[in-house]
Amino acid sequence: MENLVTIIHILAAAGVIGLVLLQHGKGADMGAAFGSGASGSLFGVSGSSNFMSKATAICVTIFFATSLTLAYMSSHRAGNGSVIKAVVKTQEVKSEAIKPTETKPTETTPTGNAAKDIPN
């Protein structure tokens, strides 16, 4: 479920970016009034602003909703905790697994013959 919301979130973000870049600013009409000739568009003079602004508003609403949904899902995830605590726990587990077994040194018993115990 979280992956689906993430994909929708990314698509909504790309839609907002694209729609904002395609819209012309308020100053574009003033340039057209002085003869730049850039006032016409694919949807007509007034149609593009209505369609683009509505599409942008829809994408922004979807983006906002998915942002809140992802934040909620992230905060209520099982096992939610500190990253540092998780690293410390894994290091403790690894150190316990590598800990050498305790062995007692073997005791040597003297043979009782001093002449045999002395090396030549």
SS3 readout for 59-96: HHHHHHHHHHHHHHHHHCCCCCCCHHHHHHHHHHHHHH
pLDDT at 72: 93
Of the candidates 76, 93, 91, 66, the one whose C-alpha atom is nearest the C-alpha of residue 3 is 66
The alpha carbon of 89 is separated from its chain's Cα centroid by a whole number of angstroms, namely 23
Q: Inform me whether the pLDDT recorded for 30 exceeds 80.
A: no
Of the candidates 16, 9, 13, the one whose C-alpha atom is nearest the C-alpha of residue 70 is 9
Q: What value does the mean pLDDT of the chain take?
A: 75
Q: How far apart are CA 15 and CA 63, in angstroms?
A: 9
- Tell me the per-residue pLDDT of 79-115, one tens digit each, with 9 for 90 and over: 656 667 777 777 777 677 666 666 666 666 556 565 5
Structural contact between residues 70 and 6, judged by C-beta atoms closer than 8 angstroms: yes
